[in-house]
Structure 1
Amino acid sequence: MMLTTATIQLLPLTTEHYPAVSAIYAEGIATGQATFATDVPAWAEWDASHLPHSRVVALSEAGQVAGWAALTPVSGRCVYRGVAEVSVYVGAAHRGRGVGQRLLAQLVAESEQHGIWTLQAGIMRLNAASLRLHEQAGFRLVGVRERLGQLQGQWHDVCLLERRSRVVG
């Protein structure tokens, strides 16, 4: 059966999901467009680096993890407690079917329930699909950080996008 947004179920991301989540993250790393990371962290490291709330997996009708989304704090300073960075990853077999849209919409809703007033995303300029996804979810382009990071010897520009909550703040 083809996965559609009507057949996916969104659930909190737990330790049990992490093997599939890490496999999807590895697919993102392999594209060379999704992240500057070159290795998938172990669960303990991933868990410690992400906020304890607003962690979502998309499950197919067969119970397969199709994608995931989570938030990372942008700073430890108390004045930025309501600002978080978004991560959204969709498995290669499930891309282009609205999974990312559902995940990002759920992440926005959950972030607002936890007092997050600004979501930001740093997306490589060449990742057109991710830029489109975030813009459709109400993110706006703040600017482009030119030659911000190097991956496999090649410099990449990173687009900084943000979404200000209409509910919080």
Structure 2
Amino acid sequence: MSGNLSSLPLLGLAEELSGGGAPVGDPVTQERVRVLLDRVVDAIVDLSLGRVTLTRPVPPRPPDADLPVEGGDHLDPAACSALAARCHRAAALVGAQPDQPLAAAVAACLSALADGLQRLTQDVNDPRVPLPEARQQLRRSLSRAGALLDSATPLQ
């Protein structure tokens, strides 16, 4: 394994998040969560190697609307809440990296994703919030999180 001793917690974090994902009740949104988590994992690996910019700065093309995702139409609030908790813990660990702008961007991205997932779990249990509106809020959080990660990419 490459990297120094201080990079081991980051690499463990990357491994934990790489298997992440949660059924959010919409196949396209679920794929967007997976793509964002993949980008975050790449960024955490970059941090563990001492890099100050993303090695894969170009985000992947957004998924097509008809993209099949196994279990994509199932919403699991417990899994979403668990992923939100992992993202909050990851944001705290990544944000603790001193003097590292990339770490700050990754931590902000993780916090935005966690907040969006947690809000989804709260909204689906609130009869006053229609499910399509709750899912739209999550999609906005995903866009915000992706923009925060993109902010760590230097202009070409």
Calculate the TM-score normalised by the size of structure 1. 0.29
- Larger RCO, structures 1/2 (Cα 8 Å, 6+ apart): 2
TM-score (norm 2): 0.31
Bigger helix share: 2
Considering fraction of residues, name the structure with more strand: 1
